C-alpha cells in the first residue's frame, strides 16, 4: 500500500468499513440523472455502482488498492459510465465536468482541500458526512459564506470542517434556529489552526 498522508490523525481516513444502505440511499436521493459524480474514497465501489445506475457519469477515487481490487474483481460487471482512479485524492487531478462530489468519510481531515478543489473545477454540490459525522448533508459549493463574527447565534458549519452552535441569550433562542445552518468562514478553529478560508 502506497499511502502518502502526513497528518497524524489522517490514519483514520484509511479506515474502511462500508456504510449501511439507508446512508447510501440518503446519498442516492440527492443524485440526478444529469449529474457527473466524483466519489472521493470509494472503497470497494459498492456506492459508486449504485450511483452509476442514476447519474450520467461516475468517477471513483480510492487510495487502498486491495479494497478497490475487491470491487474490481468482477471487472466485466463494471458499469460503462463508471471510471475508477486508484490513488490519493489529495494530489490526484480531478476530472473536469463534475457536478457533484460525494465524500463519505466521517474522519476526513481534508475537507477544505476537497471542497476548494471541487469548487475550482466548477462542481456545484458536495454530499458528505464528514462535517456533521452523522447524517449526510449537501454543501452548496457556490453559496456565499458569512463571516463567523457576523453570526449572533445559531448553528454553523465552516469549510475548515468545524461545526457547532454559537450561543446567545436564551430568550433569543427560537426553534427556527435549528432549521438553519450558517455557512461561515474564519471560525475559531480556523484561527487556532492558522488556516485561512476565503469568503469567495
Ligand atoms: C469510510 S470509507 C467509505 C468507503 C465508501 N465511500 C463506502 O461508503 O463504502 C472511506 C474510504 O476512503 C478511502 N480514502 C481515505 N483517504 C483517501 C484519499 N486520500 N484518497 C482516496 N481514498 C481515500 C479509504 O481507503 C476508505 O476506503
Distances (CA, A) of 114 to 1, 47, 78, 176: 22, 19, 26, 31
What pLDDT score was predicted for residue 14? 84
Per-residue pLDDT of the chain (200 residues; tens, 9 = 90+): 334 445 555 788 888 889 999 999 999 999 999 999 999 999 999 999 999 999 999 999 999 999 999 999 876 689 999 999 999 999 999 999 999 999 999 989 999 999 999 999 999 999 999 999 889 999 999 999 999 999 999 999 999 999 999 999 999 999 999 999 999 999 999 888 765 444 44
Nearest CA to ligand 1 atom 11: 41
| Ligand 1: lining residues by beta carbon, under 6 Å | 13-14, 16-19, 41-43, 46-47, 61-64, 67, 88-90, 104-105
What is the 106 CA–ligand 1 centroid distance (Å)?
Answer: 10
Within its chain, how far is the Cα of 96 from the centroid?
A: 17
Question: Which domains can be identified in the chain, with CATH numbers?
Answer: 8-140 (3.40.50.150), 146-193 (no CATH)
Mutate to test the pocket of ligand 1, among 16, 66, 70 (most ligand atoms within 8 A of CB): 16
Residue 146, SS3 per DSSP = strand
Amino acid at each position: 500500500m502506497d499511502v502518502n498522508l502526513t497528518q497524524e490523525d489522517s490514519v483514520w481516513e484509511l479506515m474502511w468499513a462500508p456504510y449501511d444502505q439507508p446512508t447510501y440511499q440518503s446519498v442516492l436521493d440527492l443524485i440526478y440523472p444529469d449529474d457527473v459524480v466524483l466519489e472521493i474514497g470509494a472503497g470497494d465501489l459498492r456506492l459508486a455502482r449504485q450511483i452509476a445506475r442514476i447519474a450520467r457519469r461516475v468517477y471513483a477515487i480510492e487510495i487502498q488498492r486491495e479494497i478497490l481490487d475487491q470491487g474490481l474483481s468482477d471487472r466485466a460487471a463494471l458499469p460503462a459510465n463508471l471510471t475508477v482512479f486508484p490513488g490519493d485524492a489529495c494530489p490526484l487531478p480531478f476530472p473536469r465536468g463534475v457536478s457533484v462530489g460525494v465524500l463519505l468519510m466521517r474522519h476526513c481531515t481534508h475537507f477544505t482541500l476537497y471542497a476548494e478543489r471541487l469548487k475550482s473545477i466548477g462542481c456545484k454540490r458536495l454530499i458528505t458526512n464528514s462535517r456533521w459525522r452523522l447524517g449526510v448533508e449537501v454543501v452548496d459549493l457556490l453559496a456565499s459564506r458569512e463571516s463567523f463574527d457576523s453570526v449572533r447565534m445559531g448553528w454553523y458549519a465552516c469549510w475548515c470542517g468545524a461545526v457547532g452552535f454559537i450561543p446567545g441569550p436564551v430568550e433569543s433562542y427560537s426553534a427556527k434556529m435549528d432549521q438553519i445552518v450558517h455557512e461561515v468562514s474564519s471560525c475559531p478553529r480556523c484561527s487556532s489552526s492558522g488556516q485561512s478560508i476565503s469568503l469567495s
